[in-house]
Amino acid sequence: EPLFSMSDGEGYSAVDELRARAEEDMGALNVDWSALERAANVEIVPTRKDVPYETLGGIPRGVQAVHIRSQGRSYFIAENIRPEHLKGLILHEVAVHAGMEGLVGKRGLKEIYRQIEQMLEADHPAIVSARGIAERYSGDNPTVVAEETLAYLIETNADLPIVTSLLSRIRQ
């Protein structure tokens, strides 16, 4: 099943410009975009119709990025991405959906989810917001909601200690 990042408006459009922005954004994190793109099996495509996924009629309108587990591939849909959102989207799709378990292991991932639940119970605003977005787009599967909560948290709050700790693992 695909895991989506949704758009809230107009996007970018040129694949080459988006790729250049990815190199710049990831370079600022000391991450080599070209190496990450290859290792994480990422493709930047012009439109949602360029994503090879036909189940349920294809990729819905407004999707910025999608990780399709059955393909082991993440797609970034240029027409829906604003440049200022790209870095967060890369972290969302690549770090969480395509590679988090590989970075921290099953036990480490369970610990991250436990920390997020504790922060949610303490009404941490960033966690509450990420959970709200995850629930809106992920349905009621608790595993998917937990993963999407982490993904949206990383996408929008790169300065939180739980996120900076995870980002340091990506750089290694």
CA distances for 118 relative to 23, 28, 124, 127, 152, angstroms: 35, 31, 9, 10, 17
User: Residue 40, Cα to own-chain centre: how many angstroms?
Assistant: 12
Residue 53 is classified by DSSP as -
pTM here is 0.79
Residue 73 is classified by DSSP as E
Using DSSP's 3-state secondary structure scheme, residue 71 falls into coil
Separation between Cα atoms, residue 66 and residue 49, nearest integer Å: 12
pLDDT tier at 171 (50, 70, 90 boundaries)? low
Separation between Cα atoms, residue 71 and residue 94, nearest integer Å: 14
Separation between Cα atoms, residue 72 and residue 74, nearest integer Å: 7
Contact criterion met (CB below 8 Å) for 95 and 126: no
| Percentage, residues of the chain above pLDDT 90 | 21
- Residue 12 is predicted with a pLDDT of 53
Task: Give the pair of three-digit tokens for residue 64.
Answer: 């910025």
Residue 5, pLDDT above cutoff 60: no
Higher local confidence (pLDDT), 125 or 163 = 125
| CA dihedral for 97, 147, 167, 16, sign (positive or negative) | positive
